[in-house]
Structure 1
Amino acid sequence: MHGGRRARMTLAPAGADVGIVFSVAGADIEAHWSRVDASTLRTQLAGDSASVSTVEHVMAALAALRVDNALVLLEGDEVPAMDGSARDFVSAIDEAGVVALPAPRRVLRVVTPARVSDGAGWAELRPAESGLHLDVEIAFPRPVGRQRLALDLTPETFRRELAGARSFGFLRDAERLWREGLALGANLDNTLVFDARAAINSQGERFADECVRHKMLDVVGDLALAGAPIIGAFRSYRGGHSLNLALLEAAARSGALALELDSGHIEGVSATGRSLSP
Structure 2
Amino acid sequence: MAKQQGTAQTTLRDALVVSGIGVHSGKPATMTLNPADADTGIVFQRVDASGVSTVSIRATIEHLHATESCTTIGKMGLSVATIEHLLATFSGLGVDNVIVEIDGSEVPMMDGSAAAFVSLLDGTEIVSVGAPRRFIKVLKPVRVDQGSSFAELLPFDGRRFEIDIEFDSTLIGRQGFVVDLTPHNFRRDLARARTFGFLKDVEFYMSRGLALGSSLENTVVLGDDRVLNPEGLRFTDEFVRHKTLDAVGDLALAGAPILGAYRSYRGGHRLNARMVEALLADSDAWTFVGDFAESRRQPVRAEIPVRLSAAAFGPDKS
Shorter chain as denominator, the TM-score bin is over 0.9
SS in 2 for 1:37: strand
Q: Which residue of 2 aligns with 1:257?
A: 286
Question: Does 2:137 match 1:82?
Answer: no
Aligned-partner Cα distance in 2 for 1:49–1:171: 33
Post-superposition Cα deviations, 1:117-175, rounded to whole Å, max 9, x if no partner, equal 1111000000012x201100000122111110001010000100100000000000001
Q: 2:252 is matched by which residue type in structure 1?
A: A
Structure 1 pair 38/167, CA: closer, same or farther in 2 (3 Å)?
same
Aligned-partner Cα distance in 2 for 1:97–1:194: 38
SS in 1 for 2:232: coil
Structure 2: runs of 5+ lacking an equivalent: 1-22, 48-53, 293-318
Aligned-partner Cα distance in 2 for 1:94–1:231: 26
Q: Which residue of 1 aligns with 2:164?
A: 137
1:262: Cα distance to partner? 6.5
Q: Which residue of 2 aligns with 1:167?
A: 195
Q: Which residue of 2 aligns with 1:239?
A: 267
Q: Which residue of 1 aligns with 2:79?
A: 51
Q: Which residue of 2 aligns with 1:276?
A: none
Q: Which residue of 2 aligns with 1:224?
A: 252
Q: Which residue of 1 aligns with 2:34?
A: 12
SS in 2 for 1:160: helix
Q: Which residue of 1 aligns with 2:232?
A: 204
Say if 1:20 and 1:72, in contact at 8 Å, map to a contact too: yes
Q: 2:290 is matched by which residue type in structure 1?
A: L
Question: Does 2:146 match 1:118?
Answer: yes
Question: Does 2:123 match 1:95?
Answer: yes
Say if 1:106 and 1:259, in contact at 8 Å, map to a contact too: yes
Segment of structure 1 superposing worse, 52-61 or 33-42:
33-42
Q: Which residue of 2 aligns with 1:40?
A: 68
Say if 1:127 and 1:231, in contact at 8 Å, map to a contact too: yes
Aligned-partner Cα distance in 2 for 1:48–1:114: 32
Structure 1: runs of 5+ lacking an equivalent: 264-278
Aligned-partner Cα distance in 1 for 2:186–2:197: 22
SS in 2 for 1:156: helix
Q: 1:258 is matched by which residue type in structure 2?
A: T
Q: How many corresponding residue pairs?
A: 262
Post-superposition Cα deviations, 1:222-250, rounded to whole Å, max 9, x if no partner, equal 01110101100000000000000001000
Q: 1:23 is matched by which residue type in structure 2?
A: Q
Structure 1 pair 227/83, CA: closer, same or farther in 2 (3 Å)?
same
1:97: Cα distance to partner? 1.2
Q: 2:137 aligns with which of 101, 109, 112?
A: 109
RCO (CA 8 Å, sep 6+): is it higher in 1 or 2?
A: 1
Q: Which residue of 2 aligns with 1:21?
A: 43
With structure 1 as the length reference, what TM-score do the two structures score? 0.92
Say if 1:65 and 1:155, in contact at 8 Å, map to a contact too: yes
Q: 1:146 is matched by which residue type in structure 2?
A: R
Say if 1:27 and 1:49, in contact at 8 Å, map to a contact too: no
SS in 1 for 2:215: coil
Say if 1:165 and 1:213, in contact at 8 Å, map to a contact too: yes
With structure 2 as the length reference, what TM-score do the two structures score? 0.81
Q: Which runs of 4+ in 1 moved over 2 A?
A: none
Structure 1 pair 262/173, CA: closer, same or farther in 2 (3 Å)?
farther
Aligned-partner Cα distance in 2 for 1:84–1:192: 8
Structure 1 vs Structure 2: percent identity of aligned residues? 48
